[in-house]
């Protein structure tokens, strides 16, 4: 029989095995195939011809790869870097040795991107997304606490430098219910992740907080959810660090105006600019010798494309209310939801005839909701950022140290009552080197009418790049 019979007794086209070659067939080892099948069968035959790799050869190759990875690892975490970590953080040699051992294990056994948190000695071992040597980061002293985050100093061993680790607040206040603490914690986590993503999208730019070195998100078995990001450690904020001469003041103003242009150019509104949310770096030996300023704390910043759905929902809800319920109070409530977290003292305020204060921009936003005018809303939010930046610059460029609360309150009261800066403040700006045009345009940024505030481009014309 020349063909192998199938189960049904019908001839099969499977190759002949152990049969002498027949005319019209190609002989390929022990397999006989029709000519029409020769090309496809050749691929299978080629694979059979490949030399086989024994288990011993695989083990030898694995050992070579492991030695190469260890060499790459210890090239980064050499004796000098380990001694540096011990000296800078007052750590024992055993602690640093343990961290290095854990990091090596992660490097040899885990896939890229795998990270762990070692709670006992409070250090992180993290892997880059692309294959590479991990980083070991030891958490140090507390640097500060903000609205939704806490910042610790960390030492990154591979980087060989200090950085800042920002984590969400834990809200351990016993007066708060467990549910409220959990809600606040979740909100802080969301804000922090939002900030990290925005900073990564903005990239490295003048006047904007630098993107994080690394975002961490660890879920420990039976432990806390560790989330945060590590980034550049700044010298302080604008409350404590001020430029010292006219050239430095103009440079800092240019940087911050440029930074806000970048933020708005990415279709974002910041919403909470103030000196405490402006980070500063002092001139250091060997660098450009300039003060560097950065708009920071973007956890509450939002893309206008994300806000639009909320805006449309509030506008539609208002239009669907009965006429007798379409009140200004309802609109102001909706407007407060859109404004979100903010610092009242760095927002434009006015007084009613009865002396009650209100945010003038909130009232304008209420009108945009009533009219369903989203472009108007965007213009108001951008102008609100201009007001906050303008007031921050007045405080930072007019006074050589943090303004006492009573003086700041007097400045704001004069703005509310007279819609202009007090002459003493203008004189302080002048004595610190600002010219009359610069003082005038800063004064205009503080108008309680959002349409009358200058654009960022107009501000940049008066504070050109040094």
CATH 3.30.200.20 in the chain: give the residue spans: 60-231
* pTM, entire model: 0.78
**Which residue, among 297, 17, 286, 26, has the nearest Cα to 144 in the 3D structure?**
297
Decide: 405 and 373 in contact? Cβ < 8 Å. Answer: no
CATH code assigned to 60-231: 3.30.200.20
Please provide residue 256's backbone torsions phi and psi, each rounded to the nearest 5 degrees: -70, -40
DSSP sequence for 401-446: SPPPHHHHHHHHHHHHHHSS--HHHHHHHHHTT--HHHHHHHHHHT
Strand partners, 28: 31
Confidence of residue 130 (pLDDT cuts 50, 70, 90): low
Structure tokens belonging to residue 87: 């000296």
Can you tell me the distance from the alpha carbon of 231 to that of 152, in angstroms, rounded to the nearest whole number?
11
Can you tell me the distance from the alpha carbon of 388 to that of 275, in angstroms, rounded to the nearest whole number?
9
Say whether pLDDT at 78 is over 90. Answer: no
Please provide residue 330's backbone torsions phi and psi, each rounded to the nearest 5 degrees: -65, -45
Strand partners, 149: 168
**Which residue, among 295, 319, 321, 391, has the nearest Cα to 349 in the 3D structure?**
391
154 CB-contact burial (10 Å; exposed 0-12 / middle 13-18 / buried 19+): buried
Strand partners, 358: 350
Say whether pLDDT at 270 is over 60. Answer: yes
Average pLDDT, the chain: 81
Q: Where are the alpha helices (DSSP H) in 50-92?
A: 55-76, 79-89
Q: 447: Cβ–Cβ under 8 A, 6 or more apart, which residues?
A: 348, 387, 419, 453
Does domain 236-466 match CATH 1.10.510.10?
Answer: yes
Say whether pLDDT at 320 is over 70. Answer: yes
Can you tell me the distance from the alpha carbon of 281 to that of 238, in angstroms, rounded to the nearest whole number?
10
Mapping DSSP onto H, E and C, the string for 288-339 reads CCCCEEEECCCCCCEEHHHHHHHHHHHHHHHHHCCHHHCCHHHHHHHHHHHH
Confidence of residue 165 (pLDDT cuts 50, 70, 90): confident
Please provide residue 127's backbone torsions phi and psi, each rounded to the nearest 5 degrees: -110, 140
35 CB-contact burial (10 Å; exposed 0-12 / middle 13-18 / buried 19+): exposed
pLDDT score, position 173: 63
pLDDT tens digits for range 86-121: 776 677 788 888 888 888 887 777 655 556 777 777
Confidence of residue 6 (pLDDT cuts 50, 70, 90): very low
Decide: 384 and 348 in contact? Cβ < 8 Å. Answer: yes
Would you give the distance in Å from CA 78 to the centre of its chain? 31
CATH 1.10.510.10 in the chain: give the residue spans: 236-466
The residue ranking higher by pLDDT, 439 or 188, is 439
Say whether pLDDT at 285 is over 50. Answer: no
């Amino acid at each position: 029989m020349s063909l192998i019979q199938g189960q049904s007794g019908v001839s099969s086209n499977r190759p002949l095995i152990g049969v002498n070659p027949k005319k019209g067939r190609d002989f390929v080892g022990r397999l006989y195939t029709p000519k029409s099948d020769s090309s496809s069968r050749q691929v299978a035959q080629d694979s059979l011809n490949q030399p086989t790799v024994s288990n011993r050869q695989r083990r030898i190759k694995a050992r070579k790869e492991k030695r190469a990875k260890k060499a790459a690892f210890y090239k980064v975490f050499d004796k000098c870097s380990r001694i540096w970590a011990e000296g800078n953080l007052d750590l024992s040699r055993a602690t640093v040795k343990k961290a290095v051992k854990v990091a090596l294990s992660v490097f040899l056994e885990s896939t890229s991107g795998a990270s762990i948190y070692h709670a006992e000695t409070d250090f992180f071992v993290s892997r880059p997304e692309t294959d590479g040597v991990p980083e070991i980061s030891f958490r140090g002293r507390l640097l500060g606490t903000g609205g939704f985050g806490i910042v610790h100093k960390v030492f990154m061993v591979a980087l060989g430098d200090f950085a800042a680790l920002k984590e969400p607040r834990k809200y351990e206040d016993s007066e708060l219910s467990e549910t409220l603490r959990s809600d606040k914690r979740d909100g802080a986590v969301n804000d922090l992740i939002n900030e990290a993503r925005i900073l990564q999208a903005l990239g490295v730019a003048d006047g904007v907080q630098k993107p994080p070195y690394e975002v961490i998100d660890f879920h420990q078995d039976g432990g806390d959810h560790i989330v945060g990001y590590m980034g550049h450690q700044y010298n302080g904020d604008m409350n404590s660090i001020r430029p010292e001469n006219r050239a430095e003041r103009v440079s800092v103003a240019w940087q911050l105006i440029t930074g806000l242009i970048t933020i708005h150019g990415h279709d974002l509104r910041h919403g909470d600019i103030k000196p405490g949310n402006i980070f500063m770096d002092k001139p250091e030996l060997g660098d450009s010798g300039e003060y560097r300023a950065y708009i920071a704390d973007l956890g509450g910043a939002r893309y206008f494309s994300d806000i639009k759905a909320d805006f449309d929902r509030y506008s539609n809800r208002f239009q669907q209310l009965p006429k007798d319920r379409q009140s200004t109070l309802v609109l102001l409530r909706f407007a407060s939801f859109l404004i979100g977290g903010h610092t009242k003292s760095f927002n434009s305020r006015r007084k009613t005839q009865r002396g009650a204060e209100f945010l003038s921009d909130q009232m304008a936003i209420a009108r945009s909701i009533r009219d369903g005018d989203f472009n108007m809303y965007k213009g108001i939010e951008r102008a609100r950022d201009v007001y906050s930046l303008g007031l921050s610059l007045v405080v930072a460029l007019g006074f050589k140290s943090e303004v006492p609360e009573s003086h700041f309150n007097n400045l704001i009261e004069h703005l509310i009552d007279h819609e202009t800066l007090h002459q003493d403040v203008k004189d302080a700006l002048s004595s610190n080197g600002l010219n009359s045009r610069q003082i005038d345009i800063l004064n205009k940024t503080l108008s309680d009418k959002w349409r009358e505030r200058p654009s960022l481009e107009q501000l940049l014309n008066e504070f050109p790049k040094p």
